Each structure stands twice: as C-alpha cells, then as structure tokens.
Structure 1
Amino acid sequence: MFSTVLVANRGEIACRIIRTLHRLGISSVAIYSEADAVAQHVAMADSAIRVGPAPATESYLNIEAVITAAQQAGAEAIHPGYGFLAENVTFARACATAGITFIGPREHALEVMGDKIRSKNHVAQAGVPLVEGISEPDLTDEQLIEAASQMSFPVLIKPSAGGGGKGMHVVEKSEELAQGLAAARRVAAASFGDDTLLIEQLIRSPRHIEVQVLADGHGNIIHLGERECSLQRRHQKIIEEAPSALLDEATRERIGQAAIDTARSVQYLGVGTVEFLVSDESPNTFHFMEMNTRLQVEHPVTEQVTGIDIVEQQLRIAAGEPLGIKQDDVTFTGHSIEARIYAEDPESGFMPSTGTILRLCEPAGTGIRVDSGMADGLVVGTDYDPMLAKIIATGADREQALARLHQALGETVVHGLTTNTAYLQQLTADPDVQAGRMDTTMIERKLPELKFPVPTQSHAMAAALFAAQLDGVDVLETHAVGPAGWRRDGWRHSTPHHPAFHVIWERPGYTGESFDVVIDGQSTLRPNRNSGGYLLRTPEASFEVHLSAGNHTRQGRHVWVTAGALTAQLTVLDQEAQTHRQLAEIEAELAEAKPEVIAPMPGTVVAIGPDSGHEVSAGQMLVTIEAMKMEHRLNAPTDGTARIQVAVGDHVSLGQVLAAVEAEAMMTSAENPDDSKDQL
C-alpha cells in the first residue's frame, strides 16, 4: 500500500478521499488554488501545496503543476477524484512518465470510454443495445445538421469527451439545432478541452440506471449493484439512490452482467460506472449510454448498502492487490438516498449563488452521513462547480431512508448564500418520488408547481430582535416610561419606548415583502444552546430560528433567517436606515430609467447575440455568460435597439451593465428633437 497520496481535487470529494487515507494510515497531500487557500480540504490534509491562481485551467487542470506538487511531496500515487483530471488520458500518461501511480484505469480504457463516440461504437460491436444517433468523430456543425435531418426531433446534443450533464442540450426543432450546437461546443471546449459532439434521439421519459463495477489487475471484475439517478435537472443528477425501485431481480442480474461485460471489453482496472437508459414503460429493456472511468459523485449510496469503502478499493487495486471480494460476497442491506446541495437559487431559475458562509449547521443522527466541503467563513465564488455537499440518508427500506433524508435537509442551515435545500425537501416529499414514479424529465415538468415558503411577520420580528441586539438596543427593557430623547430608532417623549423597524425581503424578479415591526416586550428571542439557534416567542407563534448577521450598510442590516423550510435574507431598517433608503428611492425615481441588462453574477462573456445597433425583440438573447461551469443567457427586456457594452472573453462582475435596449420612441425623440415639440 502507498505511504503518501496526493489528492488532485477540491471540495467535498477531496475531503471524502482524505478521510479514507487517514483511516488507512496513508499520508494525504492536498493541492489548492489561490481561491482555496483556506478551504476545508486544505485544512484536513496532512500537507498542502499551492498549484496556481483561481481559474481551474491554471491550477487544478494544470498537469505540470500537479505532477510537480506530487514529486515535491514525495507522493507515490495521485487520486484525481472526479471531474478535473479524473478521466484525462494525458494526465494518466504524465503520471506514468513521472513514475507516479495514477489511481484510475489504464490508458486504453480512458481513451475508449472517455470518448462517447468511440465508446458507443466499441460496445455496439459487443452487441450492447444503443440509442439511435449520430456518433461519428470530427463532424462539423454543418455535417451534424445534415445528418440530423434524417432523424426525428427532439434530439439530444452531447459532448463526446464530457460528463456530468455539462454541454448537453435538448433541441426540440430542426431550426434550433445550429444554435444548440454552438452553445454545446463552447461548454464542451471550456469544460473538457474537446468540443467534439454527438447527437442522440431523445427518449422522452427514460430512467437513468447505473451499475458500479470494480476490476483488479488479476482479471477479477465484480459489480456492486445499481443506482437510480433519474431525478435530474438540465441532465445534472440531484438525488440518487441504491438500489433502484424499478428493477426486478432478473433485470438486476442482466444489467449487472452487462456492466461487467462492458468493463471486461476494455480490460478495465479500478472503479468505474456503466450507465444505462431504462424504459419506464418497459423496465426490462435498457440501452448503454456511457461508462464513467472514475469515482462517481453518488458512490456513497452504494457504500451504505454494501458496507464497502469504494475509495479504499480504488487504492488497493491501484497498489496491485487482487480484489478481496467475490461477487457472491456482495450483499445489499437496506436503502440509501443522496441529495446534492448546490449553491444556486431555485426561485431565480437556479441561478448560481455566491457569497461567504456565515453560519453552517450540518445534520447528524442515525442513518445520516454528510460528505461536505463546507465550513464557516468559506468563500463560494464562480470559479468551480456549485456543488457544496451531499447528504446521504440510509434506512431499513426506501420509505425510512426518504423520511430521514427529508428531516436531515430540514436540519441543514447554510447562511451567506442561497442553496437548493428547500427545493430538495420538496422533492423528497413529492408523492411521485415517494412512490418511485420517476424519470429524467419529471423535475422539469414539476418546476412550475413548486411553491417556496416566504417570510412572515414572525420571521421579521426575529430578524428585528436579532438586529436590535447586535446594535445594542436594549430590547428587554422596552416598557420603561420616560423621555427617550433623540435615539437612532426615533423620538419618544414621556411614553414607553418601543423601537420600530421596517423589515424587507427582496429577491430578483420578485416584488418582495415588507413588514413593520414594533418591539414592545411581548416578543422575545433567546439563545438555544442545544441547537445553536434561537427560540422566538411571540403572541402569535413560538418556534426555533437560526440567525446570522450579514452586511450592514446605511440602508439597513442584512440578517439571514432559517426557520423550518424557509431560509431568507431579510433587511432590517431602523429609523435612520429608513430615511437613507427613502432618499435613495427618490433619487432613483428622478434618474432616467434605462432598460439595462446586468450581470446576475461574476462570470465570463462567451457569446454575443446581435451586434450593437441592431434591432432586437423582447426575449432575444443579447449576452451569454459562463459561471460555475454553466451558461446563462441574458435576454432583451423589451423591443428596441441593442447597445452591447461587453465583448466575448470579457470577465464581468456582479451587477455590471452588459447591454441596454433603447426603445424606438426614445431613439426618435433623441434623433429628431423637433418632432416632440411638433407633437405637443
């Protein structure tokens, strides 16, 4: 076994790998970029080496820097985790040249299975059923469009070199194919360094079933059962479970054997996953999609039901040991379900969210496992994938596992940025999910039905009490009679002093809510030392709430509130802040309104729609920016003339004006000032 292993990754997966290394007594070496200098995986490792600036291309994807770090640390092996360099054959060769063991498959398997086009052609020769499509290498957009003219729409565009749903686009109509191909190529090139694409017939209601395989260097291959990964959004898995509720024992045996045969066809070595599409209407029929030649994000659910540490098996196989497990030794106990916590805002179209984690409470308890890279004070930016953590719940059966996961999500508190936790709670409570009626399009169909909790007067009271305490207002003596004099919270003369606040909840694209709060001594906020939260008591309600202080400006103090399924940032305004805000609103009303398009997050401009000066229609794409490995289209807010203020390749900041649309009436008045006088 190795004595020192470098982990060439970051976030929750780096932390998870380091835990197994520690358990086995292996020295762990972390790498980090400038953005991750105080990240959790750096703190956990025995040592850490900086490999470059924040952009992944200059740090985690910098092969020379990673190899140099391993040599400097005296590491005999490198574990790549998933993503980044995990399936990069060039990196595997660089490890071999440097005399360092790459903890992953051999180069042949990486080359064949790392290319979706080549892998499909390879398994087709073995008689594995495939989805109809176009999978020839080096086709141009024009050639793909011509070939797709013989297919029936909708179709699915997929990057040949990638995974994780990145760059995948559903195209409903043939006339939309050119635009979809251009977008897919940009994401593929940025994410995988290879913009080769393939096109498949879209199966409308498929189930996504994958099988975990282990293969050693002595000819032994086994599988560890299947995982159901059908709950997806934009082709990105959100909730995964083991085993699948769909398969019967006969199909389970057949699909497991198909996965073993696929691995054997490329002399596979290590841990891998073979993914299949299974018809919901005919669950005994499956089609090969791809083989992921790495550790999967969702591997913990398999570990929970088999009791096998898959990372440990990777290490032992890479060290040359034969598998100590035979197929007959693999047993499955109970049911396990995993939910992925993302830094994103479901109510704003799942826009990535950034910020500093001000407060973190992760769940614990019977059957609960948390794989996390989060920590108090962690800065979450746009340089990397938005996944922050995974919550895994295991029970005696699926019903118990779902119940435990739902409760664990409710106990998860992340303040400082928006996450999808409340959204995941709704999914776990959905009747179709609970009944096992799922397919890869279900989430998209249900999105319009989702209702998220909104703050109430009680939440506003909690925020106001918390802010008042932070500002030194004595909220416990508000019944005192006598002149209050001039105070920040208002003038009171010979009457009981009741501090008054205005509390606002504002969200992009939402009108928001506002509350007037008077602290009159009837409501109290006390710390709960057992949970780290607070107990709020009002005449109307009594409940536990978690509170954190955000930014404090002249126009109010931001307070993060979590109570039940609600997590929201509220702005608390005392009398002084209310005055400042009113003055700012008056100033804004006097200023000329401009239909501007602003950046909803920091990112990079990857596409421009029309040239500046061209006429556009409302809803037409003006600028596309890339952040957190995802593209975000920003559209014209109204009809008019586009004024583009950025160029492809520009790095933009949050709130930066990217474009504006001048209405026709404004143009006419500006160009012909006398016309407006004549009309008068």
Structure 2
Amino acid sequence: MFETVLVANRGEIARRVIRTLRRLGIRSVAVYSDADAEAPHVREADIAVRIGPAAASASYLSIDAVIAAAVETGAQAVHPGYGFLSENAAFGRACADAGIVFIGPGERALEVMGDKIRARDHVGAYGVPIVPGFSAAGLTDGEIAEQAEAAGYPLLVKPSAGGGGKGMQVVRSAAELPEALATARRVSAAAFGDDTLLLERLIERPRHIEVQVMADRHGNVIHLGERECTLQRRHQKVIEEAPSPVVDEATRARLGAAACAAAASVDYVGAGTVEFLVAGDRPDDFFFIEMNTRLQVEHPVTEMVTGLDLVELQLLAAAGAELPLRQDDVVLGGHAIEARVYAESPARGFLPQTGTVLDWRPALTPVAERAEVRADAAIETGSVVTADYDPMIAKVIAHAPDRSAAVSALDAALADTVLLGVESNIGFLRELLNEPAVAAGDLDTGLIDRLPPHVDPEPSLLALTAAATFVAARDAAMPEQDAGHASPLWLSRSGRRLDAPDVPVAQAFESSDGAIRSAVAAEPGPEVAMGGLRSRRALGRALPQGAALAEDPDGLLWVHADGVTTALRPLTRREAADLRLARRERGDAASDPELRAPMPGAVVAVHVADGDAVTTGDRIATIEAMKMEHPVTAPHDGVVILSVAPGAQVRLGELLARVDAPAPVTQD
C-alpha cells in the first residue's frame, strides 16, 4: 500500500478521500487554490500545497502544478476524485512519466471512454446495447441537418467529451437544430476544450440507471449493483438511490454483465461507472450512454447498501493488489438514497448563490429506528461559497431497511439540516421527495422539468417569532442611537402601544418573496434582561425552542425553524410603511426595463444588437456561472439598449441592458 497519496481535488470529495487515507494510516496531501486557502480539506490533510489562483484552469486543472506538488511532497500516488483531471488521459500520462501512480484506469480506458463517440462504437462491438445515432465530427451543419432528418426527431445533441450533462440539448424539430448545435459547441469548448458533438435518438421518458464496477490488474471485474439516477434537472442528477426500484434480479444480472463487459474491453482498473438509459415502460430494455472512468458523486449510496469502502478498493487496485471479493460476495442490503445540496435559489430559476456560511449543522443523528444518516460536505461554519466552482456544497444520504423508510429518513434529515447564510435547494429537495410519483418510484428523467415552479414556503410563526426575539434582544443590548428629527418611537423596530402599554408591538420583516410579515418577540430570557446576547450560546437559549438563527454582515436574519430556512430583513416602522406605500403605487406599473445580472459570471453570448426591437421573452444575453448557462430575457416588448459585450465579467446586479417600451403611436 502507498505511504503518501496526493488528492488532486477539493470540496467534499477531497475530504471523503482523506477520511479513508487517515483510517488506513496513509499520509494525505491536499492541494488548494487561493480561493480555497481556508477550506476544510486543506486543514484535514497531513500536508497542503498551494497550486495556483482561484480559476480552476490555473489551479485544479493545471497538470504541471499538480504533478509538481506530488513530486515536492513525495507522493507515490494521486487520487483525482471526480471532475477536474479525473478523466484526463494527458494527466494520467504525466503521472506515469513522473513515476507516480494514477489512482484510476489506464491510458487506453481514459482515451476510449473519454470520447462518447468512440466509447459508443467501441462497446457496441462487444455486444453492449447502444442508442441509435451518429457522430457530428467532421460534418458541416448542413450535413448534420441531413443526417438528423434521416435519423428522425426528437434527437439529443451532446458533447462527445466530458460528462455531467453539460451542453446537452434536446432538439424536436429541424428549426431548433442550429441554435442547439451552437449552444452545445460553446458549452463543450468552454468546459472540455473540445466542441465535437454526438447526436442520438431521444428516448422519451427514460430512466437513468448506472452500474458501479470495480476491477483489478489481475483480470477480476465485478459490479456492485445499480444506482437509480433518474431524478435530474437539466441533465444534472439531483437524487440518487440504490438499488433501483424497478430493477429485478434478472435485469440486474444483465445490466451488471453488460457493464463488466464494457470495463473488461478496455482492461479497466479501479472504480468506474457504466451508465444506461432504460425505457420507462420496459425496464429490461436498456442502452449504453457512457462510462465514467472515476468515482461518482453518488458513490455513497453503493457504499451504504454493500458495506464497502470504494476508495479503499480503489487504493488496493491501484497498488496492484487483487480485489478482496468476488461477484458472489457482493450482497445488497436495504435501500440508500442521496440528495445533492446546491448553493442555488430554486425560487429564482435555480440561480447559483454565493456567500458566507454562518451556521452549518448537518443532521447526523438517526431519524428513525434502523435508519442511518451520512453527510459529506464541502463546507463548515465560516466557509465562503464563491462563484469559482460547481455550486454543489454537500450531500445528505440516508439508509434504511426499505425504500419507503429511506425516503422518509432522508426527508427528516434534510429538515433537520441547518444551513444559514447561503441559499440552497434543501426546500426543493424536500418538496421533490414528497411528490407522489417519487414516493411511488414512478420516475423518468423529465419528471422535475414537468413540476410547477418552486415557491419558497412562507416563514412559520416560530421563525418570525425567533427573528423578532433576536431583534428585541439585540436592540436592548445596543446603545441608543441618534434619532435625528424623527421620533425614537417611530424609528424603533419594536415597543409597546402608548394606549395599551402591556400589549407588545409586532416587529416587521421583509422576506425573500418581497412580502412583509410581522411577529411579536417571545418573552425575553435572563440573557436579554442582563443586557443582550453576548454569545452564540446565549442566543440559542434566548430564541424559542426549535429555532436556529444567524445575522449576516448586511443585517439579514437567517432563520431555521420547522424544517425550513428563511432569510428575513428587519424593517423599521417607517421602512415598512414606505414599502407598503410604494407597492400600492406600483401595483399596475409596467415591468422594470432594466435587465441586471442575476448572479456574478461571464457574458458568453449577446443575442441581439443595440437598437434591435424585441418581444417579451426574447433572449438578450447568456451568462455563465458555476459551469451553467443562464439566459436573460426581455421583460416586455421594446427596443434594446445594451450595456455589455460578449466576454464581459459582470457582478451580481450589474446592468446588462435596458428594454425601453416603444413610444405610443399618435395620429394627427
């Protein structure tokens, strides 16, 4: 076994690998960019090496920097995690040239399976079922259109390189093809450095099922069962589980045999995943999509149903040992389900979010008898979530004797997870788990896209009361401020009525949906009476039981209560009155003509020219942030006045364009 291993990654997967290295007594080396200098994985490793600035291209994707860090620290092997360099054949060669073991498959597997077109043709020759389609390599757009017409619509356009659903476009008619090709090429070139495309027949309402394989250098290839990864949004997995609720033993054996055949065809070594599309109405009918030559994000559900440590098996295979088990030794026990927690705002179209984590407390206590909960997180209290990397910040996993119990345990664990300071999709995940189709296991990859837009739940009375209690306690501890010419009573956030001094006055708040709500503070505890909240512990005792609260530097209150996290902005009485008045006056006004950046990012495309006439919903510009593209559209008919150009870096809220309504036509 190795003595020192460098982990060429960041976030939760780096922490996950380091955890196994520590258990096995192997010295761990972390690498980090300037953005991650204070990240948890840096402190948890035995050694940490800076490899560059925040941009992934100059740090985590820099082969030279990673190899130099490995040589400098005496690492005998490199674990690439997932993403970044994990499926990069050039990186594998660089490791070999430096005398360092790449913990993954050999160069042939990386090259064959790293190209979807080549992989599809290759495994087809070994009897693995493939989806009908064609490669667009070397074809003009006209030739692609001819072949697409011959193949028949609908089609799925996807990058040949890379994975994770990035760049995939659904095309239902010839009219949609040109824009789909342009978008797929742009995303593919930016994400993978290769804009080669593959077009395949779109299988309607499919399930996405993948098989975990493990192989050693002695010719042993086994599978560890399948994972259901059907619940996706924009081709990105959201919920994963093992085993699949529709795969029986016979189909599992066939899927496993096909996956092992694909792995063996490239002399595979280590952990890999073979992904299949399964027809929704015929679970025994499946087609190869691709092979991911690395550990998957969703590997914990396989670990929980098999009792195996996949990272340890990777290390053994890379070190040249035989796998310590054979196919007959693999037994699946119970059911496991995982939810990916993203820093994003589901109510605002899942836009990525940034900020400082004020409080992170994952639910690790078993929530039901015989249930187990696991949280793999990239963050901790005090972590800064930036726009430099993927917005996934944690995974919450539950294991129970059966699927129904596992789903309930995951929902309860998400409800008890405290994440304050950064918006997340936890509320959306809970809503999804409680969808009747999800509870019944009646899934397809388009299910999430058919759901109505997510609306954040209203803050509960407990949340509002906790916020009002905090404001009252904080204000009681602060010295009186100069009220200027206004009455101190008018400016105060809370108090008591002059005509009824025993009746408390409610504190007003503005919530993220723009609504104004109010609540009365709970009776102050001894900490408040002694002069305010002097510590987090005192705050916890002063708040109503069952609530957690933190205040960010901008004065926004983040409250977790009744399984829901809400951001509330305290309002003075004047602010509340002014807001109500402004909204009444603006009730029937036209939409705002200014288009502002919904998140920090890069303007990758401007779809109109200055002075163009546009109609409601027309795409004005596209912003890329956290590896995702977000369109900015016209709010109403009018004429565009642009403020940005392609390639511009924009801040949150920066003006992108105006859409001025056309002047009314007058008759003489």
- Correspondence 1:362 to 2:343: no
- Aligned residue pairs total 648
Secondary structure at 1:341 match in 2: strand
Alpha-carbon shift at residue 471 of structure 1 (Å): 2.6
Counterpart position of 1:399:
404
Counterpart position of 1:479:
none
Counterpart position of 1:459:
463
- Correspondence 1:386 to 2:378: no
Counterpart position of 1:540:
none
- Give the residue type in structure 2 aligned to 1:162: G
- Give the residue type in structure 2 aligned to 1:503: A
Deviations 1:234-261 (A, max 9, x none): 1111111111111111111111111111
- Aligned counterpart in structure 1 of residue 553 of structure 2, from 529, 551, 554: 551
- Give the residue type in structure 2 aligned to 1:620: D
- Correspondence 1:122 to 2:122: yes
Alpha-carbon shift at residue 308 of structure 1 (Å): 1.1
Counterpart position of 1:672:
none
Deviations 1:487-540 (A, max 9, x none): 845897697387746533343xx4x32124455859999999999956866xxx
- Correspondence 1:633 to 2:631: yes
CA RMSD of aligned residues (A): 3.0
Contact 1:618 1:635 in 2 (8 A): yes
Once residues 489 and 410 of structure 2 are traced to their aligned partners in structure 1, the CA distance between those partners, rounded to angstroms, is 53
Counterpart position of 1:671:
none
Once residues 451 and 576 of structure 1 are traced to their aligned partners in structure 2, the CA distance between those partners, rounded to angstroms, is 28
Please, which runs of 5 or more residues in structure 2 have no aligned partner? 367-371, 479-486
Contact 1:525 1:536 in 2 (8 A): no
Counterpart position of 1:413:
418
TM-score norm. by structure 1 comes to: 0.89
Alpha-carbon shift at residue 359 of structure 1 (Å): 1.0
Secondary structure at 2:407 match in 1: helix
Contact 1:603 1:652 in 2 (8 A): yes
Contact 1:484 1:494 in 2 (8 A): no
Alpha-carbon shift at residue 51 of structure 1 (Å): 1.1
Alpha-carbon shift at residue 274 of structure 1 (Å): 0.7
What is the 5 A alignment of 1:614-633?
614-633=612-631
Once residues 268 and 521 of structure 1 are traced to their aligned partners in structure 2, the CA distance between those partners, rounded to angstroms, is 65
Once residues 191 and 101 of structure 2 are traced to their aligned partners in structure 1, the CA distance between those partners, rounded to angstroms, is 25
Once residues 585 and 430 of structure 1 are traced to their aligned partners in structure 2, the CA distance between those partners, rounded to angstroms, is 35
Once residues 651 and 165 of structure 1 are traced to their aligned partners in structure 2, the CA distance between those partners, rounded to angstroms, is 25
- Give the residue type in structure 1 aligned to 2:170: V
Counterpart position of 1:372:
377
- Give the residue type in structure 1 aligned to 2:269: L
Alpha-carbon shift at residue 564 of structure 1 (Å): 2.0
- Correspondence 1:55 to 2:59: no
Once residues 578 and 407 of structure 1 are traced to their aligned partners in structure 2, the CA distance between those partners, rounded to angstroms, is 35
Once residues 490 and 263 of structure 1 are traced to their aligned partners in structure 2, the CA distance between those partners, rounded to angstroms, is 67
Counterpart position of 2:369:
none
Counterpart position of 1:151:
151
- Give the residue type in structure 1 aligned to 2:517: F
Once residues 538 and 211 of structure 2 are traced to their aligned partners in structure 1, the CA distance between those partners, rounded to angstroms, is 39
Deviations 1:433-489 (A, max 9, x none): 2221111111212234x5542124553232121122123359xxxxxxxx9989845
Secondary structure at 1:340 match in 2: strand
Q: 1:471 to 1:262 in 2, by over 3 A?
A: same
Seq. identity, %: 52
- Give the residue type in structure 1 aligned to 2:163: G
- Give the residue type in structure 2 aligned to 1:610: V
What is the 5 A alignment of 1:430-579?
430-448=435-453, 452-472=456-476, 488-489=492-493, 496=501, 500=505, 502-507=507-512, 510=513, 512-519=514-521, 521=523, 544-552=546-554, 557-575=555-573
Once residues 417 and 294 of structure 2 are traced to their aligned partners in structure 1, the CA distance between those partners, rounded to angstroms, is 29
Once residues 377 and 572 of structure 1 are traced to their aligned partners in structure 2, the CA distance between those partners, rounded to angstroms, is 23
Contact 1:485 1:493 in 2 (8 A): no
TM-score norm. by structure 2 comes to: 0.91
Contact 1:276 1:289 in 2 (8 A): yes
- Give the residue type in structure 2 aligned to 1:551: P
Deviations 1:562-602 (A, max 9, x none): 1123211111123475589799999999x999601100110
Deviations 1:372-410 (A, max 9, x none): 111111111111111111111111111221121111011
Counterpart position of 2:482:
none
Once residues 506 and 525 of structure 2 are traced to their aligned partners in structure 1, the CA distance between those partners, rounded to angstroms, is 14
Q: 1:306 to 1:518 in 2, by over 3 A?
A: closer
Once residues 491 and 237 of structure 2 are traced to their aligned partners in structure 1, the CA distance between those partners, rounded to angstroms, is 53
Secondary structure at 1:60 match in 2: coil
Once residues 308 and 358 of structure 1 are traced to their aligned partners in structure 2, the CA distance between those partners, rounded to angstroms, is 34
Contact 1:549 1:559 in 2 (8 A): yes
Please, which runs of 5 or more residues in structure 1 have no aligned partner? 475-482, 538-542, 669-674
Contact 1:460 1:503 in 2 (8 A): no
Once residues 522 and 532 of structure 1 are traced to their aligned partners in structure 2, the CA distance between those partners, rounded to angstroms, is 11
Counterpart position of 2:174:
174
Contact 1:534 1:544 in 2 (8 A): no
Alpha-carbon shift at residue 135 of structure 1 (Å): 2.3
Counterpart position of 2:110:
110
Once residues 439 and 486 of structure 1 are traced to their aligned partners in structure 2, the CA distance between those partners, rounded to angstroms, is 56
Once residues 397 and 30 of structure 1 are traced to their aligned partners in structure 2, the CA distance between those partners, rounded to angstroms, is 38
Once residues 432 and 592 of structure 1 are traced to their aligned partners in structure 2, the CA distance between those partners, rounded to angstroms, is 39
What is the 5 A alignment of 1:49-88?
49-88=49-88
- Give the residue type in structure 2 aligned to 1:410: A
What is the 5 A alignment of 1:173-252?
173-252=173-252
Once residues 433 and 502 of structure 1 are traced to their aligned partners in structure 2, the CA distance between those partners, rounded to angstroms, is 40
Deviations 1:133-185 (A, max 9, x none): 12253334443223212233222111111111111111222211111111111
Alpha-carbon shift at residue 192 of structure 1 (Å): 1.3
Once residues 418 and 560 of structure 2 are traced to their aligned partners in structure 1, the CA distance between those partners, rounded to angstroms, is 7
Contact 1:241 1:335 in 2 (8 A): yes
- Give the residue type in structure 2 aligned to 1:660: R
Secondary structure at 1:218 match in 2: coil
Contact 1:4 1:26 in 2 (8 A): yes
Deviations 1:207-253 (A, max 9, x none): 11111111111111111111111111111111111111111111111
Once residues 246 and 592 of structure 1 are traced to their aligned partners in structure 2, the CA distance between those partners, rounded to angstroms, is 50
Greater CA drift, 543-552 or 387-396: 543-552
Once residues 336 and 586 of structure 1 are traced to their aligned partners in structure 2, the CA distance between those partners, rounded to angstroms, is 50
Counterpart position of 1:477:
none
Counterpart position of 1:308:
308
Once residues 594 and 351 of structure 1 are traced to their aligned partners in structure 2, the CA distance between those partners, rounded to angstroms, is 20
Q: 1:544 to 1:163 in 2, by over 3 A?
A: same
Contact 1:465 1:525 in 2 (8 A): no
Alpha-carbon shift at residue 425 of structure 1 (Å): 1.1
Contact 1:130 1:288 in 2 (8 A): yes
